[in-house]
Structure 1
């Protein structure tokens, strides 16, 4: 399985069930579309936590990988959005670097960067 993209969502655990929140869509001028912001999602999660007798300290952040069918798979839980975002940036970093090479017409460096990530991240099986 591979992920099409990643999301970070605030979550609350209650009655042995984890509920995640996307937030309310808000217009983003720079993207020209509606987006769900972490702030909006956090407000939803905090309100839910309080409604079930918990507090803001019970909200945690989960990094999700989203597959081809749009299903979310939890990758890791974090205390803060910043911690989850840092891990996501580390995952995406080599791809960003390769894209920078591709944009600068440095095709071999792009290929080498992606190949290195794939080979260093696998044990015996080549992806």
Structure 2
């Protein structure tokens, strides 16, 4: 990554969400990650030939749900989010677009997370 020394981006799961990390020993980390994936899982983790800019990362960090039409909310609800990593609960906006469920920070309206509605398997009441 050009803007961060020792920075790298990992693209995750079928939604292709991107996560930015900085590590002093990133070459070592990536080498070991690829080696362990090959040795223990029998899979190959490719490395992109081209670098990504911070601007490109910010525009695509939500993966397949990064386009404006997927992030344009039709309806939004104020919610409290309860999660083991976040105690006490935190305020969020839970929004729906035509194809996605979007979690937003109410103070900044920034999209925290976006997932396709088709990936919601079940709602417990």
TM-score, normalized by length of structure 2?
Answer: 0.25
Structure with the largest fraction of helix? 1
Structure having greater relative contact order (Cα 8 Å, sep ≥ 6): 1
Which of the pair is proportionally richer in strand? 2
- TM (norm. structure 1) is 0.24
